[in-house]
Amino acid sequence: MGTRFISKERLKEFIKKLEGEVFIPQKLEDTFRWQRYPTEFTLEGFRTIFPPKYFFYNPQEILKEKQTNKRTVIGIKACDLRGILFLRKVFKEGDFIDPFFRDDILIISADCTYTEKNCFCTLLNDNPYPEEGYDLNFSELKDGYLVDIGSERGEALVTENEIMFSTVDQQQIIDRDMMRERVIKEIEGKKIEINGNIDEGKIIDYINKCVSCSACTNICPACFCFLLDEKKDFEKVRYWDSCQYPGYARVAGGANPRKKLDKRFIHRIKCKFEYSPVRFDSRGCFACGRCISACYGKINFKDVLQSL
C-alpha cells in the first residue's frame, strides 16, 4: 500500500483532521502516558505506562448496546499492537463474537525509537516496530516520519490529506533501517524459549514472592479474562478478572484446582506460552515488560522466563 513522508509540523495538522476522540502519548519524566488531545505529544521512545487495551476493551462495562464515539489511538508500539491483534482473536473470532470489544478504532502505530530497561521483545524474536495490523505506522526520522499504509482505511486517510504527505526517497528508508537496527541492538540478554514442561523448581524463589495482587494481569496488554455480574432486568456488567486471584478457578461445589500459589503462577506462564498458541494460534506475551515494573513482589518476569 506504500509509504509516504510527513513532516513534524504537518503531523499536528493531520491529527486535527481526525474525527472523534484521539489519544496520543505524552512524555512525562521518562515515561509515556496516554492523553486525549494533548497540546504536547510525542511518538518517540517505547510503550506507554498503561497498555492501549483500555481503549479497546473496557475494564468495567455494561454489556448492552450503546453509542460509541469514533476513536483513534496514535503511537501504539509494536508489542501493544501485537497485544491488540491477540485480543481481537480472542474476542472477534470463534463460534461466538463478542460485540463489545472494539474493532472500529483507527490504529496509528509507531516504531520504538529507544527502549527501557524492562523491554524484551527481541528476546522473544519480535521486532521493536509494527509489522502488521495497523492502519498507519509512523517511523520517526530527524525531521518527520515515514508513514506506512497498512489498510484501506489508512489509505483513504492519506488520500484525503494528500497535500500533507510527500514521497519517500531512498535515504529515508535507509535511515529508518538504521534506526531499527540500533533499537534492536539495545535489548540484550539470553533468548527466551519455553517448550514442554515447566520445571517449577527453577523458578520457585520467584513464585514465592508473588502476593496474588493481579497487577501483572491487569497491566498486561494481552490478558483478557473477565468476570460477569448480574444487574437489574437481566443486564450484565463485566469486569477484568485475574487468574492470579485465589478464587478465580473455583467451581460451584467448592473445588478449586488452582488454590495454590505455584499453580496459579505457572498457569499464567502456560496460558501465555503453551495454551494460547493452541487456542488462538498466537503467543499471549509480547514482552512489553510492564508486569515487571508493576509487580508488588518485585518479580522480574523476564528473568523468570529466561530461567526456564
Partner 1 sequence: MSYNPYKPILSKVTSIIDETHNIKTFTLVHEEEFEFKTGQFVQFVISEVGEAPFTPSSSPYVKEKMDITIMKAGRVTNMIHTLKEGDLVGIRGPFGKGYPIEDFYGREVLILGGGVGMAPLRSLLLTLIAQKDKFKRLLLLYGAKTPGDIIYKEQFADWKRQGVEIYRTVDNGDETWKEKTGVVTVLCDDVKVGKEIAIVCGPPIMMRFGTFKLLDMGYRPENIYLSMEKNMSCGIGKCGHCALGPYFVCKDGPVFKYSEIEHLEDIWD
Q: Using CB under 8 A as the criterion, which residues of the chain lie in contact with partner 1 when the complex forms?
A: 63-65, 90-91, 94-99, 224-234, 236, 238, 241, 243, 248-258, 263, 267, 271, 274-275, 278-279
Annotate 51-103 with DSSP letters as a single string: -THHHHS-SEEE-S------EEEEEE-HHHHHHHHHHHHHHHSSSS--SSS--
Residue 163 or 252: the one with the smaller Cβ distance to partner 1 is 252
Task: Pick out residues in 233-252 that bind ligand SF4 (CB under 6 A).
Answer: 244
Q: What are phi and psi of 226, to 5 degrees?
A: -145, 165
Minimum gap (Å) between residue 294 Cβ and ligand SF4: 6
Burial class (CB in 10 A: 0-12, 13-18, 19+), 40: exposed
Q: How far is residue 47 from each of residues 32, 184, 207, 278, measured CA to CA in Å?
A: 7, 15, 26, 27
Considering the rule CB under 6 A, would residue 212 count as an interface residue with ligand SF4?
Answer: yes
Residue 73 or 87: the one with the smaller Cβ distance to partner 1 is 87
| Interacting partner of 263 out of ligand SF4, partner 1, none (Cβ under 5 to 8 A depending on kind) | partner 1
Collapse the DSSP code of 113 into the 3-class scheme (helix H, G, I; strand E, B; otherwise coil) and give the result: coil
Distance CA 58, CA 102 (A): 9
Minimum gap (Å) between residue 275 Cβ and ligand SF4: 18
Distance CA 283, CA 83 (A): 9
| Interacting partner of 38 out of partner 1, ligand SF4, none (Cβ under 5 to 8 A depending on kind) | none
b/e for 268-281, b at 16 or more Cβ within 10 A?
bbebbbbebeeebe
Residue 2 or 246: the one with the smaller Cβ distance to ligand SF4 is 246
Minimum gap (Å) between residue 269 Cβ and ligand SF4: 10
Residue 114 or 296: the one with the smaller Cβ distance to ligand SF4 is 296
Place of cell 495454551: 275
Minimum gap (Å) between residue 70 Cβ and partner 1: 16
The runs of H, that is alpha helices, within the chain are 8-16, 53-56, 78-92, 152-160, 170-186, 200-207, 215-219, 261-270, 276-280, 290-294, 301-307
Residue 190 or 259: the one with the smaller Cβ distance to partner 1 is 259
| Interacting partner of 250 out of partner 1, ligand SF4, none (Cβ under 5 to 8 A depending on kind) | partner 1
Minimum gap (Å) between residue 304 Cβ and ligand SF4: 9
Residue 63 or 308: the one with the smaller Cβ distance to partner 1 is 63
Distance CA 75, CA 25 (A): 7
| Interacting partner of 214 out of partner 1, ligand SF4, none (Cβ under 5 to 8 A depending on kind) | ligand SF4
Minimum gap (Å) between residue 104 Cβ and partner 1: 12
| Interacting partner of 212 out of partner 1, ligand SF4, none (Cβ under 5 to 8 A depending on kind) | ligand SF4
Out of 211, 229, 275, 281, the only residue in the binding site for ligand SF4 (CB under 6 A) is 211
Minimum gap (Å) between residue 189 Cβ and ligand SF4: 20
Minimum gap (Å) between residue 210 Cβ and ligand SF4: 3
Out of 73, 123, 299, 305, the only residue in the binding site for ligand SF4 (CB under 6 A) is 299
Question: What's the CA angle centered on 201, arms 198 and 204, to 5 degrees?
Answer: 100
**Closest-CA residue to 210 (of 249, 175, 254, 245):** 245
Amino acid at 50: F
Site residues (vs ligand SF4, CB under 6 A): 210-216, 244, 294-297, 299
